[in-house]
Amino acid sequence: MGDLIRLLPDHVANQIAAGEVVQRPASMVKELLENSVDAGAGRIILVVKDAGRSLVQVTDDGRGMSMMDARMCFERHATSKIRVAHDLQAVRTKGFRGEALASIAAIAQVELKTRPHADEVGTRVLIEGSRLVAQEPVACPPGTTLAVRNLFFNTPARRQFLKSDQVEMKHVLDEFQRVALAHPEIAFQLTHNGQEVHQLPAAQGQTPGALLRQRVVHLFGRRYDERLVPVEESAGDLHITGFVGKPEFARRSRGEQFFFVNQRFIRSSYLEHAVRAAFEELVARDQYPSWFLYIDLDPARIDINIHPTKTEIKFRDDRSVYAIVHAAVRRALGRFNVAPSIDFEPEPALLAASMPSTPGPAAKAWRPQDLGMAPPPVPSGWQRLFDLPDAPAVDSPTDSPLVMPSREHEGPPGARPVFQLHGTYILAQVRSGVVVVDQQRARERIVYEQALRTLEQGAGHSQQQLFPRNVELSPGDHALLTQVLPELRALGFDLEPLGGRTIVVNGMPAEAADEDPVALLESFLEQLQLEQGTLRNARHTALARSMARSLAPRSTRKLENAEMHELIDRLFACEMPYVTPSGRPTLLTFTLDELNERFGN
């Protein structure tokens, strides 16, 4: 028997590889646009016919190719972008595998016209199904035009897998948007069947933020301008810039959600989780906030070579990237103190006015051990609201302005009337009507933010027990406790493992001094068991939330006037006063309008 193994002819190998690189017209759009970006273009024009089936053409004013390169670029693994394997570590260009043009040329009719700026004439190359049909000098402007006609002309079976023009064009638009968003400094134009779809001037501006904002607005419309909350964060050599959409503009369908890493669009369910977690209390679970987030870091810290289309990457240190993204978005939302619109609609103008532009509440640390004692060490939250200019007139019945204490009752703290209902709710008159605060939920929010701060600063106060107590834990609880022991200590739990599953409780967080230590520890661990999923990604959030839930059990308790005021003060000193850590409202407002309507007045 003779030898059976043969090397595949190149054009067959290319056709097979093409299946990986080119699934649909949109895949070519991505590759060609990225080649133009890599060529240093300042302006890129994309022309598409029949959603890319009959034509995808990209013209740029980039560096162009020499006569030799114009032929070479269609060879497999022909690339000018890396020379040796070591270069892979430092890749900053989009392409680097040198297989896009070879793959495209295997399954379509490709015409290339290209001219380096220094040359007088350019080169035209015509190639069909990997066969060179023509190569000749041509007069053309500097830069490159690559036209791909009749995709899959030689593989009819694959042509049939294409979806309707509408669907294919949607994919083309997606790819166009991603490249355009990644490069606001480049002018882009898109035409489909002779009609202009996008005309994006090169953005001008001093800061990256200003450039991005212009690009987003040009791409998605003027109305986006007011929807964007800037995100800006640096940690070591990692930088994040960009925007998140205000929570009130979250939508029921997946909106604009973009991550870019070193100016490359990527998908990452892991980072998506980080952003969603930051929005957690601000948008309902079935709604999608939008984001445009740009992460820049040393290319050595990522691994992009895991898929030919390169939308997935691996971070060498994904946990810290997660934490930074989460913190960045969280802080941005906190700084702009974007209030939620769950159960009540704050009046935007009012909100904007009521919120300090500095991260005020976060900076004003208070200690829960002060609870029930002298006035809080922070400026009164109510006072903050009193200090506002008059609320704008309510001109539509659907407007229900945010909680505004009535000026009539302005006076020394404690003089404002509050009323406790069934040991559970606190009622207070506000400008627009009446506000009802859920005591337990308010406390949950307060303890949660306090615990988060304590964890970040690692300085929890511990109240020593007179008589240390031993607790015998279940195997599950014991394992969990061992895992979070350092953080528990930071929170103020003074615990010592005694061998076996027994723990000695020497001290408790100061704010829990009145609680039964064993019962509290068990309830805390019970809550934490429910947070296992979150614990993996967002430890502090999980711990703080468990702490809040176990320290603020549903109970009725009579409060003194001063205690009520204090609770409300502290609630409003929080970063996100309006909802509990799990997103339920801490307070409801009933406007005069609503009351009048109920009475038929």
By the criterion CB under 6 A, which residues form the site for ligand ADP? 31, 35-36, 39, 60, 62-65, 73, 78-81, 95-102, 144
From the list Mg ion, ligand ADP, none, pick the one residue 144 interacts with, judged by a Cβ distance below 5 to 8 Å according to partner type: ligand ADP
The token pair at 362 is 């976060």
Q: For ligand ADP, which is the closer residue by CB, 78 or 434?
A: 78
What whole-number distance in Å separates Cα of residue 133 and Cα of residue 152? 17
Beta bridge partners of 60: 44, 144
Element (H, E) at 426: strand 425-430
CA 36 to chain centre: 28
Cβ proximity to ligand ADP: between 20 and 237 the closer is 20
Smallest distance, ligand ADP to C-beta of residue 31, A: 6
Residue whose CB is less far from ligand ADP, 305 or 502: 305
**DSSP-derived secondary structure letter, 459:** -
Comparison of 27 and 35: residue with beta carbon closer to Mg ion: 35
60's contact among ligand ADP, Mg ion, none, with CB below 5 to 8 A by partner kind, is: ligand ADP
Report the candidate in 278, 264, 383, 261 with the shortest Cα–Cα distance to residue 328.
Answer: 278
Beta-strand pair 291-296/257-261: parallel
Partner in contact with 96, chosen from Mg ion, ligand ADP, none, beta carbon below 5 to 8 Å by kind: ligand ADP
577 touches Mg ion (CB under 5 A): no
Nearer to ligand ADP, 41 or 473 (CB): 41
Compare residues 44 and 535 and give the one whose CB is closer to ligand ADP. Answer: 44
Which 70-99 positions form the footprint of Mg ion (CB under 5 A)? 95
Tell the smallest beta-carbon distance from residue 43 to ligand ADP (Å): 12
Of the pair 127, 551, the CB lying nearest ligand ADP is at 127
**DSSP labels, 467-503:** EEEEEEPPHHHHHHHHHHHHHHHHHT-EEEE-STTEE
What's the min distance (Å) between Cβ of 199 and ligand ADP? Answer: 21
* From 29, 100, 172, 250, residue interacting with Mg ion (rule: CB under 5 A): 100
Q: Where are the beta strands (DSSP E) in 172-288?
A: 187-192, 195-200, 228-235, 238-245, 257-261, 264-266
Q: How far is the CB of 122 from ligand ADP (least distance, A)?
A: 12
Q: Which string of b and e fits 556-573 if b means at least 16 CB within 10 Å?
A: eeebeeebbbbbbbbbbb
What's the longest Cα–Cα distance across the chain? 103
Q: State the sign of the Cα–Cα–Cα–Cα dihedral 212, 214, 219, 220.
A: positive
Interaction of residue 35 with Mg ion, rule CB under 5 A:
yes
Query: Alpha-carbon distance 35 to 28, whole Å?
Result: 10
Would you say 30 or 441 has its CB closer to ligand ADP? 30
State the nearest-atom distance from the C-beta of 44 to ligand ADP, in Å. 9
Q: What residue type is assigned to position 53 of the chain?
A: R
Q: How far apart are CA 404 and CA 350, in angstroms?
A: 9
Question: Quick one: 70 or 446, whose CB is closer to ligand ADP?
Answer: 70
Q: Tell the smallest beta-carbon distance from residue 66 to ligand ADP (Å).
A: 10
**Residue that is written with structure tokens 């015998």 in the block:** 472
How far does Cα 113 stand from its chain's mean position? 41
Q: How far is the CB of 316 from ligand ADP (least distance, A)?
A: 23
User: What's the start-to-end Cα distance of the chain, in Å?
Assistant: 101
Interacting partner of 25 out of Mg ion, ligand ADP, none (Cβ under 5 to 8 A depending on kind):
none
Q: Which amino acid is at 563?
A: E
> Smaller CB distance to ligand ADP: residue 48 or 451?
48
Sheet of strand 109-115: strand arrangement: 131-138, 122-128, 109-115, 143-149, 55-60, 43-49, 187-192, 195-200
Count the residues in the chain: 601
**Contact partners, residue 451, CB within 8 Å, separation at least 6:** 491, 543, 544, 547, 548
- Indicate which of ligand ADP, Mg ion, none lies near residue 62 (CB less than 5 to 8 Å, by partner kind): ligand ADP
Judged by beta carbon, residue 35 or residue 400, the one nearer Mg ion is: 35
Give residues with Cβ within 8 angstroms of 151, minimum separation 6: 22, 25, 28, 52, 53, 56, 107, 108, 159
- Name the binder of 79 from Mg ion, ligand ADP, none, CB < 5-8 A by kind: ligand ADP
Least distance from ligand ADP to the Cβ atom of residue 284, Å: 43
Please state the closest distance from residue 183 (CB atom) to Mg ion, in A: 15
When CB distances are held under 5 to 8 angstroms depending on the partner's kind, the choice from ligand ADP, Mg ion, none that residue 512 binds is: none
Of these partners, Mg ion, ligand ADP, none, which one is at the site of residue 61 (CB under 5 to 8 Å by kind)? none
Question: What, of Mg ion, ligand ADP, none, does residue 36 touch, CB below 5 to 8 Å by kind?
Answer: ligand ADP
Q: In whole angstroms, how close is the CB of 127 to ligand ADP at the nearest point?
A: 12
78 binds, among Mg ion, ligand ADP, none (CB under 5 to 8 A by kind): ligand ADP
Tokens of 540: 């502090």
Please, what is the minimum distance in Å from the beta carbon of residue 201 to ligand ADP? 21
CA distance 177 to 170: 10
Residue 400 near which of Mg ion, ligand ADP, none (CB within 5-8 Å, type-dependent): none
From the list Mg ion, ligand ADP, none, partner contacted by residue 200 (C-beta under 5 to 8 A by kind): none
Least distance to ligand ADP from the beta carbon of 14, Å?
11
CB 49, min distance to ligand ADP, A: 20
**180 burial type by CB count under 10 A (0-12 exposed, 13-18 middle, 19+ buried):** buried
The residue whose Cβ lies closest to Mg ion is 95
Residue 460: name its binding partner from ligand ADP, Mg ion, none (Cβ under 5 to 8 Å by kind).
none
**Residue 89 or 309 having the CB closest to Mg ion:** 309
Element containing residue 466 per DSSP (H, E): strand 462-472
Residue closer to ligand ADP by CB (options 148, 587) is 148
β-pair partners for 315: 302
* Closest chain position to ligand ADP (CB): 95
Summarize as ranges the residues that interact with Mg ion (CB under 5 A): 35, 95, 100
